[in-house]
Each structure stands twice: as structure tokens, then as C-alpha cells.
Amino acid sequence: MGYEPMTLWLSSLCGWLEVKPCAEYREMYETMINVIGVYFCAVVNTEERANDGMLAPLSVTEDVQAILHRVSIHLLRRRENTN
């Protein structure tokens, strides 16, 4: 069972299954993990902005910059955990 640096779990009728791709699917798996990370960075950014009581919303450019900043931190942490 894996929990780091990133593990993908799928729910099934038999319980939770850990995805462990074979070598030929590894690149697609890594891409999928990165996309999921971007999605959750965007979700966290949106939730924090909704709860921080900002008087004026950020522009789209500022919002995207904040999300990409979170993504870069997420990717750096993943890289540190794999080395």
C-alpha cells in the first residue's frame, strides 16, 4: 500500500483499490496524477478565497497566478519526495 508521494485509489464494490500501473502506462499515470494535482490546487485556492472575506475579487490573471503558484509548490514537494 502506498501513500507517498502520490497514490491514486479507486473505489469499487470490493473496497478501495490502489492503482499501480505497469511500465507502459506509467507516463500516462504520471500525467493523470499531475492533472489531479492541478485540479485540487484550484479547488483549495477557490475555497480559501471564498472564506477569506476579500472585499474585491481577484482578477482572472491574479487567480490563475495563485493557482499556478500552488501547483508549482505541489510539484516541487512531489519531486522532493521521490528523490
Write down the pTM of the prediction.
Answer: 0.57
H or E, element range at 64: helix 60-82
SS3 40: helix
For the chain, what are the domain ranges? Answer: 21-82
Question: For 20-42, how does the pLDDT look when each residue is reduced to its tens digit (9 = 90+)?
Answer: 888 898 888 888 888 888 888 78
Half-sphere exposure of 21 (CA within 13 A, CB side): 13
Whether the bond between 21 and the residue before it is cis, its omega within 30 degrees of 0, is: no
What pLDDT, on the 0 to 100 scale, is given for residue 15? 93
pLDDT less than 50: residues of the chain: none
CA 44 to each of CA 15, 39, 49, 53: distance values in angstroms, whole numbers, following the listed order: 27, 9, 9, 15
Task: Supply 28's cell numbers.
Answer: 500516462
